[in-house]
Amino acid sequence: MVLTAAGALAACGGGSGATGKGPSAASERAITGKAGGAGCMAPSTAEPMSKGGAGSTLALAKVGGRRVAFVADEDAKALLTIDLDSQSQLAETRLEGTPAQVWVAADGRVFTTLRDKSELVALAVSRPDAPLTRLCSATTPAEPIAIAATPDESTILVSSGWGQRLAAFEAASLAAKFEAKLPREPRAVVVADDGKTAFVSHAVGSVVSVVDLAGAKHESRPLPMRGIEAQQLRALAKQRAMLEQMAKRTASGSNEMLAALEEQTRRLERQSCQGFALAKSSAVSGRIFAPQVMVDPGDLDQRPDGYGDEHSPTETPAVAVIDETAQTPLLASVTLRRDPLVFLNRGDTREARAECLLPRAAVVDTKTRSLLVTCYGIDAVVAYDATAANPLAAERRRWTVGSGPSGVAVDTEKHRAVVWSQFDRTISTFAIGESELVDEKVSPLTVQKTAAAPLREKLPAEYALGRILFHATGDARISADGRACASCHPDGRDDAITWATPEGPRRSIMLAGRAAPTPPYSWNGNETSLHGHLANTFDRLSGKGLRSIELDALVTYVSQMPAPPRAAPADNAKIDRGRAIFASSEAGCSTCHSGATFTDGRNHDVGSKHRADRGATFNTPSLRLVGGTGPYFHDGRYANLTELLTKSDGKMGHTKHLSNADLDALETYLRTL
C-alpha cells in the first residue's frame, strides 16, 4: 500500500501546464458565468469514463489525454482535479459553497450541487491542469445533494435533503421544469432505463421514493423498506398457511385472526435507516440496489437497560434489491440473518466480518457484476454479488481505504475502483480483480492511496478527530453492539425512530445546528452539559467510554455541526400570521417555547406520559429546525406537524379554536424556525 504525502504532490507532476508548479498554481475560484441561456452550453473537454447517469462525490473523466477524477471536497469547498495515473493533484476549483456531488455529462460539462447555497452549478473544462470555468447555475430547494440524469441527459434531477424535494432542470439551460415533494431526508437518485421513473433513497424513514417523471403531476409514492428476520418470517408463513386452511373450512373468526397476524408482522418488521446510496447497471438489468441498515428499537412497552432490546441485534446491515419493473423489494434481500458471514474458498471455513452499519455510496462493476459499497466506520469498500437474491449473503471481498469513504467510481478500462475518503482527504485506487472470492490473508489486496493537497484553512484538530469518532462503528468505547453516534444521528440529524429506553420510549433528537445552544439535554432534562450527556449515553450503550481528550473532540464536532440551509420564505403574509398566532395568549405556544432557542429549558407535565414512562415530566424541546424533523413528542406519537397541531390541543398550548387557514399559517411559521 502506497500513501503519497500531501506535501509531495507538487513534486509528482501536479503542476499547471509546463510550469512545473504545485497544485496551488492551478487553484482559483470558478469564473462566474451568467445563469441559464446560451452561456450554459459552452464547449467543455471532459469525456466521462462511465455511462451512469448518477453523481457521487467523485466523477471520472478523460481530459487532454489524462484520466482524472473530479472530486467534490466539502472541507476545501472546491472541486479537485486529480490525475489517476500519476497520483497527483492537477487543479483546484474553489466554489462559493460546499459541494455535495459531482457529475460529468456526455457533452463534457461538469455539474455540482452546493449543499449550503441551494444551488446547482454547471462548469466547463478547458485542460486537466486548469481550474474549471463556471458557466451557469440554478437555484434549488434547500440543501441540494444528489445529482442524476435521464438516459438521454436532457433532464437533470437533484434531490434536496432539507427541502424534501426532487427538482428537475433542463440540462441545456438549467431552466426549472418541476418539483416533486418527498418524505424526509432524500439522498441518492437513480433513473429507470426508460427514463419515466426516478428512485430516491432516504437517510431516514424506511422508504425509497418512486417518482413519476413522465406524468403531468410528477407524483411520488413511498416504497416501504422494512426487514424481518428469517426465523420470524418462517414462523409467520406457517401461521398464515394454517389460518388460510382454516378459512377454507370456516369463515368464523378467520378474518380477524388474519388481521391480527398482519399486525404482528408489522410489529416484527424492522425499520430501515442509513439510506444514503442507490446503484443500478445494465449489467444486472432490472435491479436497483439500496444498501441500508435495519433497526430494531425494542418493545416500546418495555424499559430495557439500554437503547433497544439487549437480547436482539439492534442494527443489521442489508442490501435491498428493488425490482425496477414491479417497484418492490425482493423478499430475500430484506430477510435478515443474525450472523453475517463470509464464506471463503477453502471449503466450509467461515470468518465473521465487521459489519457495514454506515453505508454511504455504491456502484456496480459491470465486468464482475459486483456491487461495491463504501462504509463509514470500518473505512472499507465491500464487494457483493449483484446477481444474488440477497447480496449481503454473497460478499466477495473487501478493501480497506481512507477514513470516511463517501464516494466510489469504476474505471472500466483499467478495471479499478476509485474511492474518495473525505475525513482524511485521500483518493484510494485498487484493482477489482475477478468475481471469485479471495482470502486476503493468502492474497493481500493492494490499495494505493493519494492525499489531496493541504487545505488552505486547516480543520481544527478537535473537530477532525470528533468527526471520525462520531462515525466510528464497532468501537467498544462507544457501544457494545457496534453502533456509532451517526447510527442514530445520520448527517447529524435524527433517525426518525422512537427507541425503548430505561426511562420509557424516547425519540431521537436532531443535533446539527441545535445541540450546543439548547441545554439541558435529553428528554428528561437532567443533563446540563454535552459532556455529561454523551458519557451517560455511552454507559447506556454499554460502551467503555472515551478518554477526556476524545470526549472533548466529540463534543466539539457535535457542537459545530452546521445547520441545514433554510428555504427562502414563500409567503411572508402567511408566516407573519403564523408568528402572531404562535405568540398569542390564546394559543400559548410561546409560554414554554420562548427565547432565541424557542425553549424555556424547563420540565413540564403536559399529560403525555406513555404507559412505559417512569416519569410524567419532560423537558421543553427547542423548536429550532422543527419543520424538518419528526415524528413528534418524546415518544414519537405524532407523525407530522399537522397531526401534532390538530391532535395535541390541551397537552401543550391550544389549537382547537383555530381555523384550517390559521393552522396552516402556524405550521408554515414553524417551518421557518
Mean predicted confidence (pLDDT) in 110-137: 97
**pLDDT interval class at 357 (50, 70, 90):** very high
Q: How far is CA 589 from the centre of its chain?
A: 33
Considering the domain delimited by 2-227+271-451, tell me its CATH architecture. 7 Propeller (2.130)
Which one, of 132, 57, 64, lies nearest residue 102 by Cα?
57
Yes or no: say if 429 and 418 are a contact pair by the CB < 8 Å rule.
yes
**pLDDT tens profile 410-462:** 999 999 999 999 999 999 999 998 766 555 665 667 899 999 999 999 999 99
What's the maximum distance between 2 C-alpha atoms anywhere in the chain? Answer: 88
- pLDDT for the residue numbered 620: 85
Q: What whole-number percentage of the chain has pLDDT above 90? A: 60
Taking the C-alpha atoms of residue 17 and residue 90, their distance in angstroms, rounded to an integer, is 9
Mean predicted confidence (pLDDT) in 205-220: 95
| Residue 283: C-alpha distances to residues 170, 280, 286, 327, 409 (Å) | 28, 9, 9, 19, 15
pLDDT higher for 60 or 588? 60
C-alpha cell at 620: 421543553
**pLDDT tens profile 219-253:** 999 999 988 776 766 676 777 777 667 766 766 66
Task: Kindly report which listed range (74-78, 110-114, 183-187, 258-262) carries the lowest average pLDDT score.
Answer: 258-262
Taking the C-alpha atoms of residue 93 and residue 100, their distance in angstroms, rounded to an integer, is 14
Yes or no: say if 289 and 281 are a contact pair by the CB < 8 Å rule.
no
- pLDDT for the residue numbered 254: 66
**Is the confidence at residue 3, as pLDDT, over 70?**
no
Task: Kindly report which listed range (42-51, 303-312, 355-364, 439-448) carries the lowest average pLDDT score.
Answer: 439-448
Q: How many residues does the chain have?
A: 673
**Angle, helix 254-268 to helix 230-249, in steps of 10 degrees:** 170
- Highest mean predicted confidence (pLDDT) among 116-130, 293-307, 643-657: 116-130
Q: Is the dihedral of CA 518, 522, 527, 530 positive or negative?
A: negative
Task: Kindly report which listed range (267-276, 336-345, 485-494, 585-594) carries the lowest average pLDDT score.
Answer: 336-345
pLDDT higher for 246 or 324? 324
Taking the C-alpha atoms of residue 663 and residue 658, their distance in angstroms, rounded to an integer, is 6
Q: Give the torsion through C-alpha atoms of 398, 400, 404, 405, to 10 deg.
A: -50
Helix (H) / strand (E) element for 470: namely helix 461-470
pLDDT higher for 620 or 394? 394
Considering the domain delimited by 461-560, tell me its CATH architecture. Orthogonal Bundle (1.10)
- pLDDT for the residue numbered 336: 84
C-alpha cell at 585: 395568549
- Highest mean predicted confidence (pLDDT) among 154-163, 223-232, 520-529, 563-572: 154-163
Sheet holding 207-212, edge to edge: 186-191, 197-202, 207-212, 220-224
**Is the confidence at residue 525, as pLDDT, over 70?**
yes
| Identical fold between 2-227+271-451 and 572-670 | no
Model pTM? 0.89
**Is the confidence at residue 24, as pLDDT, over 50?**
no
CA–CA–CA angle 196, 202, 206 (5° rounding): 105
CATH class entry, domain 572-670: mainly alpha
Would strands 380-385 and 395-400 be described as parallel, antiparallel, or unpaired? antiparallel
**Is the confidence at residue 517, as pLDDT, over 90?**
no
Q: How far is CA 192 from the centre of its chain?
A: 21
Taking the C-alpha atoms of residue 534 and residue 517, their distance in angstroms, rounded to an integer, is 16
- Report domain extents, the chain: 2-227+271-451, 228-268, 461-560, 572-670
Mean predicted confidence (pLDDT) in 297-306: 89
Q: Give the torsion through C-alpha atoms of 129, 133, 137, 143, to 10 deg.
A: 30
- pLDDT averaged over the chain? 87
